[in-house]
Amino acid sequence: MANPRTIARLEAQIQRRAAHCLMFEIADPRSNFITITRVELATDLHSGKIFYSVLGDEGELSKASHMLEHAAGFIQRQVATVLHIRNIPHLRWVYDDTIAEAARLDSIARQLLPVTEELAELRALGPSYIPYDRGPRPVWDTEMQAKVTTTLLPVIRAEELVARTRAYFWLLVRADGTVDEVVLQTSSGSSAFDEAAARVARALLFAPAIRGQRAVPTWVVRDVSLIMQ
């Protein structure tokens, strides 16, 4: 088993020599789209992986992968000339999707930025009526019904309230349909019920409001009661 310093030195040598092959020794324009991101050798030095990224779309990735399949033997032989060890590791090329994934997440973040800024503005504005083309609609299922019952029924019994007791809340509904903020609008008359109803309100899930072609955050008034739907 090689020590870590030896492995790191060999990995660097392999990366430099393989990159040189791609840049100057392979007469294939597809090699210009390939960047070697790192090399990882097994601790016994019998095998290794050359990780690479590709500039371009899925089509460019497919072309680059096919090129590497044909060039792998040549690059392996060229790498062997700079490694002064008895057994040359068998090198396998592996696509490194970390750069592409980072770019994808950055694109998503840029798309969400206007929505994030709008949500922050609505928080600062506080409860208010916001225009939209289609309002948020509750997503109702047996799990949510169970939460309503287990949260509110004990309070109704303890406080000796009627089953129709309800409180009204301003809810700030995010663009993903979850509730961001809960503000009491009209009390039920029981602080214990209001607190329990606020917990229910915060757990609600909505089909978000739509303005134009996109989901947007908005404030909405919603009642919470044992018989809500």
Model pLDDT for residues 36-45, shown as the tens digit of each residue: 989 999 999 9
Residue 207 and residue 131 in contact, taking contact as beta carbons nearer than 8 Å: no
Instruction: List pLDDT tens digits, range 1-21.
Output: 778 889 999 999 999 999 999
pLDDT at 202 over 80: yes
Q: Rounded to two decimals, what is the model's pTM?
A: 0.52
Listed by start position, the domains of the chain span 4-96, 114-225
Greatest C-alpha distance within the chain: 87
Instruction: List pLDDT tens digits, range 133-166.
Output: 888 888 887 888 888 999 999 999 999 999 899 9
Query: Taking residues 94-106, what's their average pLDDT?
Result: 73
Query: Which parts of 43-189 fold into alpha helices (H)?
Result: 58-80, 98-125, 142-159
Distances (CA, A) of 199 to 22, 110, 146, 152, 169: 60, 32, 13, 10, 11
Architecture category of domain 114-225 in CATH: 2-Layer Sandwich (3.30)
Q: Quick one: pLDDT band at residue 201, thresholds 50, 70, 90?
A: very high
Which token pair is 117? 């800024």
CATH no., domain 4-96: 3.30.300.20
